[in-house]
Chain A
């Protein structure tokens, strides 16, 4: 389970993430959406142990990411928006490291690279791959082996249609395996397809949280589960726009609020 408990982050005197509560249970996928600078990556980076929360707590499977960082990250898969390793790193060397850390034979990592058709590039450096290939390699390694909590920061970025399909499949597969999945995305169509719950962040604050139906109700946008193409973009614009027009307390929804 992924938990943020009143976790917040200050960069100097700028509040990047206001005190935030969030829970993602095993087998659940939650999406973080919001404009650039809303605090999505900050929340994910706190949970991945990349940055420390200025206050509050963050835990992965009950382990505090600051006090027991190594323990918390034992079952964690994290895909950063940045490359996250020097570009001169050889793909097979990175794969061997991830396999060893997760207690898997190196052959498993090679097989994971073969799935997106990248086994022939195993001896290339990351700098020698295209942006899409790099993203697919990093996704394959982030989801390698037993992952109980998966954090993905803009996983579909720089991917073609086929690559985006792989991301969707990876999220679905992780959720089916019982992993808690938290991902940030600007691709609202993917969010509508994949997320059990959606958290809308604006200027570091959670302004809305709930299922698509609940958010539609909160935004006053007509919604029906039968809709082939849910109006998530409209819902998102209404909620973000409303939060910027007002200075009210963050809107919080619980399941069942939607009519």
Chain B
């Protein structure tokens, strides 16, 4: 039954326009960043996996959360329109997880198209050095996608209506992408150095977008631009920081899904 539900949700995700549009748009943006993002002095040049990946990472941490939050929120709100499916002998939580998994597959494939196109161009023009790290970056982007989809689904389930869900998603995106950084800067200004490190490390776990950004920068040893939260995490946790961030992103996936499943199960449709 789970397979049938997943097939049903995959078909629904596939038939929508979101994934193909995302694939095309993200591929174009990735190629654009690949060619010109880090070109020195305005000269168009591909600069190898390491530096180009750092630019691509910025694209990932801005675009992926926005799209995933919006798509997840819409899908979460849509659960309230599914009387016919809910009246089948299917647990509501299972329906929600199937929606999440189907969106992850559909949007994950689109993400692969975008980053894959960029990877092929970089590899063919600048060689395969750091190629494995680039693959790890794709993994980080997928983790971020999974977490933001889960958050979006939870927002949609709580919001109930699509319009409200979309509004929640945009606010959440702003908070996660910009708001937490502002809090980090404030913490740095207010707290003494030692306390600030712990505070910033915790803040990193409280924000999947920043966690993915620091994780991605760490892959390419771009320590200098990892920001105050990234620097704090390295200081506090050393080499374990990366694994903690992966666990944090997994938590950001599991916890919203669990909360949304519980809410959907216990509330009237």
Q: Are A78 and B87 in contact (CB under 8 A)?
A: yes
Within 8 A of A (CB), among B49-92: 78, 81-91
Q: Are A88 and B89 in contact (CB under 8 A)?
A: no
Which residues on the A side are within 8 Å of B266 (C-beta)? 52
Kindly specify which of B11-19, B31-39, B143-151 makes contact with the partner chain. B11-19
Q: Are A86 and B81 in contact (CB under 8 A)?
A: yes
Kindly specify which of A92-100, A172-180, A213-221, A236-244 makes contact with the partner chain. A92-100
Contact of B87 among A84, A90, A125 (CB under 8 A): A84
User: With A50-B268, A50-B269, A96-B7 in contact, do A101 and B1 touch (Cβ < 8 Å)?
Assistant: yes
- Please count how many residues in chain A sit with their CB below 8 Å of the partner chain's CB atoms: 35
Kindly specify which of A67-75, A160-168, A192-200, A250-258 makes contact with the partner chain. A67-75
Chain A proximity of B156: nearest CB distance (Å): 13
Residue on B nearest A47 in the bound complex, by CB: B87
Which residues on the A side are within 8 Å of B88 (C-beta)? 73, 97-98, 101
Residue on B nearest A76 in the bound complex, by CB: B87
User: With A70-B89, A70-B91 in contact, do A101 and B83 touch (Cβ < 8 Å)?
Assistant: no
Residue on A nearest B3 in the bound complex, by CB: A100
B43 at the interface (CB under 8 A from A): no
Q: Are B78 and A86 in contact (CB under 8 A)?
A: yes
Main secondary structure of the interface of A (DSSP, over half): mixed
A146-167 contact mask (Cβ, 8 Å, vs B): 1 or 0: 0000010000000000000000
Residue on B nearest A86 in the bound complex, by CB: B78
User: With A70-B89, A71-B89 in contact, do A50 and B16 touch (Cβ < 8 Å)?
Assistant: no
Which residues on the B side are within 8 Å of A69 (C-beta)? 91
User: With A50-B269, A70-B91, A86-B81 in contact, do A97 and B15 touch (Cβ < 8 Å)?
Assistant: no
Which residues on the B side are within 8 Å of A98 (C-beta)? 88
User: With A52-B268, A89-B12, A90-B15 in contact, do A101 and B82 touch (Cβ < 8 Å)?
Assistant: no
B40 at the interface (CB under 8 A from A): no
A49 at the interface (CB under 8 A from B): yes
Bound-state Cα–Cα, A50 to B11, Å: 24
Bound-state Cα–Cα, A51 to B269, Å: 6
Q: Are A50 and B12 in contact (CB under 8 A)?
A: no
A-B contact count (CB 8 A): 89
A93-126 contact mask (Cβ, 8 Å, vs B): 1 or 0: 1101110110000000000000000000000010
Q: Are B4 and A85 in contact (CB under 8 A)?
A: no
A211 at the interface (CB under 8 A from B): no
Residue on A nearest B7 in the bound complex, by CB: A96
Q: Are B11 and A93 in contact (CB under 8 A)?
A: yes
Contact of A100 among B1, B12, B81 (CB under 8 A): B1
Main secondary structure of the interface of B (DSSP, over half): helix
A14 at the interface (CB under 8 A from B): no
User: With A86-B78, A90-B15 in contact, do A49 and B86 touch (Cβ < 8 Å)?
Assistant: yes
Q: Are B84 and A85 in contact (CB under 8 A)?
A: yes
B8 at the interface (CB under 8 A from A): yes
Bound-state Cα–Cα, A84 to B82, Å: 5
Chain B proximity of A245: nearest CB distance (Å): 33
Contact of B83 among A82, A93, A97 (CB under 8 A): A82
B231 at the interface (CB under 8 A from A): no
Which residues on the A side are within 8 Å of B84 (C-beta)? 78-80, 83-85, 94, 138, 141-142
B5 at the interface (CB under 8 A from A): yes
Residue on A nearest B16 in the bound complex, by CB: A88
Which residues on the B side are within 8 Å of A73 (C-beta)? 87-89
Contact of B85 among A71, A82, A84 (CB under 8 A): A84
A208 at the interface (CB under 8 A from B): no
Residue on A nearest B2 in the bound complex, by CB: A100
Q: Are A74 and B8 in contact (CB under 8 A)?
A: no
Bound-state Cα–Cα, A138 to B88, Å: 13
Residue on A nearest B81 in the bound complex, by CB: A86
Q: Are A80 and B1 in contact (CB under 8 A)?
A: no
Residue on B nearest A48 in the bound complex, by CB: B87
Q: Are B4 and A96 in contact (CB under 8 A)?
A: yes
Within 8 A of B (CB), among A35-54: 45, 48-52
Bound-state Cα–Cα, A100 to B88, Å: 11
- Which 7 pairs of residues, A with B, have the shortest CB-CB distance? A84-B84, A100-B4, A78-B87, A51-B268, A84-B83, A97-B8, A93-B11
Instruction: Provide 13 A-B residue pairs closer than 8 Å at the C-beta atoms, listed in order of the A residue.
Output: A45-B83, A48-B83, A70-B91, A73-B89, A78-B87, A82-B81, A84-B84, A84-B87, A85-B82, A86-B81, A93-B11, A97-B5, A101-B90
A residues contacting B by CB (< 8 A) are: 45, 48-52, 69-71, 73-74, 76, 78-80, 82-86, 88-90, 93-94, 96-98, 100-101, 125, 138, 141-142, 151
